[in-house]
Structure 1
Amino acid sequence: MKSTIVGVDLAKKVIQVCTCTNHTVRSNVEMTPNEFTQFLANSKPMSVVFEACSTSSYWKQKALFFGHDAHLISAKLVASVRQSQKTDKNDALAIVQSALLPDVRFISGKSAQQQQLQSIMRLRELCVKQKTAISNQLIALLSEFNISSSNRNGGLKGAVERTLADSKNEFSEHFRSSLDTAWKLYIELSKSLVIYDQCLENSIEEHPDCKKLLKLEGVGPINAINLYIALGCGDLGGFNKGKDASACIGLTPLQHSSGGKNKIGSIGKHVKNTIVRSNLITGASNFVNHVIKREAKTAKEIWIQGVVDRRGIKCAAVALANKTVRTAFAMLSQGTEYRADFVKPLF
């Protein structure tokens, strides 16, 4: 790290900047975003440490552009180091103190391409939630009038269209208009979801790393992009090994060791990457259910069938998702392609 360390506490309208040289605080001042940009442009190369937040990747890219050594640090670590009350000045000072800790682990930021892909994924996730919410609400409201929306009667679409077309059901014009508006919103959300999926598929064609991840078992466009966002940056997400990446996503058992006794539990329920983990396990589960219904063709499929026999389908799906993350890490770090190890038939 450079001799000068700058701790930056980011906020919406102001930025607190603490400059430290030779373990001595030189300044701890508040700046506007424009003033901070000028500060980065006019300063000599130094280490700039940001607390990880929503805008930290953008400012890290700015600092790197101006020739500085930029890092992101965990907000949880900063909170544990902060000695006084929570203020912008104390936070900026705590960022510097956290960066000076021995063997500190910094967080990797995202590139502009990864931020764009992540934004599309977030828009898609919100669209799915909104579509599901409106569907459930329409089904519940129609059921209060004893109107069924079963699949054999055309599903929700058939129920809504029959309700709007029936002039003898004595519904008011206000209710009909509201129901029609909600149904049109559901249709628009369905169209938006198709557009988001198409954008993701087109984005995969523009990113070779995403495209080669599709060869992994149980990995589709969504999982390929999630893995690329988590692992595809220049320093591979700040992970040294594939098992570290898998542990960060929440696919490894929790460990509680003390006094020389190692206790291995189940995978944790509360992790930061719940959506990524859920998608990976769902894709792996689909592949496992497909493999157990036929004869194994590869060494990995033989391993999956063995895990299913010993521990069941759910454990096999989690184990496959764990192996998928590690394999993806090796592919991205070494620049290799995935090749399945096919097993020769006995006869």
Structure 2
Amino acid sequence: MDKIATIGLDIAKQVFQVHGADAQGVTLFNRKLRRSEVRPFFEKLPPCIVAMEACGSAHYWGREISALGHEVRILPGQYVKPFVTRGKTDAGDALAISQAMRRPDIRSVRLKTAIEQAAAMVLRTRVLFVRQRASAINALRGHLTEFGLVADRGIPNVSKLAAAIPEKGDARIPPAARSVLDEILAEIEVLTSRIERIDRQIASEAKRDEDIRRLTAIPGVGALMASTIKAYVPDPAAFKSARHFSAWLGLTPKLNSSGGRLRSGRISKMGNPELRSLLYLGAVSVLIAARRRGTAWTWLRRLMDGRPLKVAAIAVANKTARIVWALLTKGGRYEAPGERVGA
């Protein structure tokens, strides 16, 4: 195996597929490995380049294999898929990974540490609980509507909705319905307490992180958004420019060019949906505050006067993303346009 230069590894829970090639890209083998055989296999190999798709457990195996002296590259799945030929098989996937790795224009994903993965796990768990709470609230609202009880939308109005439920013994709510309504209310309370605990944990970590403190000075960026950016974008310098970073987030328009004519469409919505959603919500809060209290930013006033709210929010989110990239890559602190010397 001294001629092996690259390995394409298709990872799974139990059965792995490895494609080995020499320096010229000629296939040397394409075989299966059981989970218990993966580490001993790479221990016997001389140092080489090992590529795999960015998926579940990719960073774990990347750390394990890189510790053995190999160079690990994690490739985005959407860049590997075009290299898959003639059906979906493990052998074909391993070959496609090996071929995609040789393309100089395909950028690999930075290998994350266990601590960075833990930070992202906290945020994903919070998103899970928020979705579960929203589902429970919608169920509660729908069930109570059947008995003529309604309330305004929003988390703060859930308590009003619960208070509107008649006392026990009231004939308007049958006993069977009351029992399940109590279960839903208890579930909402449990989920709310879990979300609040995670929020306190995030806020506590944010106070100790210098980058997060600098990001929260940007209008519309709070501790949750700054923590999400730090967790999902551990290496912002990997992007060539602020526009590349914004395009990765899906905040730039799709381009359709043919015959020298360039047309811009809607935003691509590529990248991390949670981070893009937070940037959008932060931009909406900036616009709402500007409408209520006014703003000294001329560009923002022109944007609000000439564009609908959602279109303006995307533009503000795009600008915020670029400011975030500049702060994380170039250092310094955020200064509002009116605070700059000579502004």
Does TM, normalized by the shorter one, top 0.5? yes
User: For each residue in 1:237-290, what CA deviation from the matched residue of structure 2 results, as whole angstroms up to 9, or x when unmatched?
Assistant: 74222211111111111111122211122313x534233212101101211222
Change beyond 3 A, Cα 1:237–1:121? farther
SS in 2 for 1:70: strand
Q: 2:305 aligns with which of 302, 309, 320?
A: 309
Q: Assess if the C-alpha contact under 8 Å between 1:3 and 1:21 holds in 2.
A: yes
Q: Assess if the C-alpha contact under 8 Å between 2:255 and 2:265 holds in 1.
A: yes
Is 1:28 equivalent to 2:24 in the alignment? no
Task: Please give the residue correspondences for 1:292-331 in structure 2 after superposition, counting only pairs within 5 Å.
Answer: 292-294=291-293, 296-297=295-296, 301-331=297-327
Aligned-residue offset at 1:13:
1.2
SS in 2 for 1:136: helix
SS in 2 for 1:262: strand
Change beyond 3 A, Cα 1:205–1:32? farther
Change beyond 3 A, Cα 1:206–1:29? farther
Counterpart of 1:17, as a letter, is V
Task: Please give the residue correspondences for 1:246-265 in structure 2 after superposition, counting only pairs within 5 Å.
Answer: 246-265=246-265
Counterpart of 1:58, as a letter, is Y
User: 1:170, 1:157 → 2: CA distance?
Assistant: 20
Give me the TM-score of the superposition, normalised by structure 1: 0.87
Q: 1:230 aligns with which of 224, 228, 232?
A: 232
For 1:290, the equivalent position in structure 2 comes to 289
Change beyond 3 A, Cα 1:146–1:60? same
Aligned-residue offset at 1:188:
0.7
Q: Assess if the C-alpha contact under 8 Å between 1:245 and 1:326 holds in 2.
A: yes
Is 1:190 equivalent to 2:185 in the alignment? no
Which 5+ residue runs of structure 1 have no aligned equivalent?
A: none
Counterpart of 2:277, as a letter, is S
For 1:9, the equivalent position in structure 2 comes to 10
Q: Assess if the C-alpha contact under 8 Å between 2:237 and 2:329 holds in 1.
A: no
Q: Assess if the C-alpha contact under 8 Å between 1:49 and 1:73 holds in 2.
A: yes
User: 2:340, 2:53 → 1: CA distance?
Assistant: 53
User: For each residue in 1:27-75, what CA deviation from the matched residue of structure 2 results, as whole angstroms up to 9, or x when unmatched?
Assistant: 2222233322233344332111111112112222223333322111122
Counterpart of 2:227, as a letter, is I
Q: Assess if the C-alpha contact under 8 Å between 2:242 and 2:326 holds in 1.
A: yes
Which 5+ residue runs of structure 2 have no aligned equivalent?
A: none
Percent identity over paired residues: 28
Q: Assess if the C-alpha contact under 8 Å between 1:15 and 1:30 holds in 2.
A: yes
User: 1:311, 1:328 → 2: CA distance?
Assistant: 24
Aligned-residue offset at 1:212:
1.7
Change beyond 3 A, Cα 1:143–1:7? same
Aligned-residue offset at 1:148:
3.8
Is 1:340 equivalent to 2:336 in the alignment? yes
Aligned-residue offset at 1:326:
1.5
Counterpart of 2:240, as a letter, is N
Change beyond 3 A, Cα 1:199–1:272? same
Cα-Cα RMSD? 2.7
Q: Assess if the C-alpha contact under 8 Å between 2:245 and 2:321 holds in 1.
A: yes
Aligned-residue offset at 1:10:
0.8
Q: Assess if the C-alpha contact under 8 Å between 1:50 and 1:56 holds in 2.
A: yes
Q: Assess if the C-alpha contact under 8 Å between 2:218 and 2:334 holds in 1.
A: yes
Task: Please give the residue correspondences for 1:105-116 in structure 2 after superposition, counting only pairs within 5 Å.
Answer: 105-116=107-118
Q: Assess if the C-alpha contact under 8 Å between 1:308 and 1:315 holds in 2.
A: no
For 1:135, the equivalent position in structure 2 comes to 137
User: 2:301, 2:82 → 1: CA distance?
Assistant: 45
User: For each residue in 1:116-169, what CA deviation from the matched residue of structure 2 results, as whole angstroms up to 9, or x when unmatched?
Assistant: 122111111111111111111112112212234469xx9544554564623131
SS in 2 for 1:72: strand
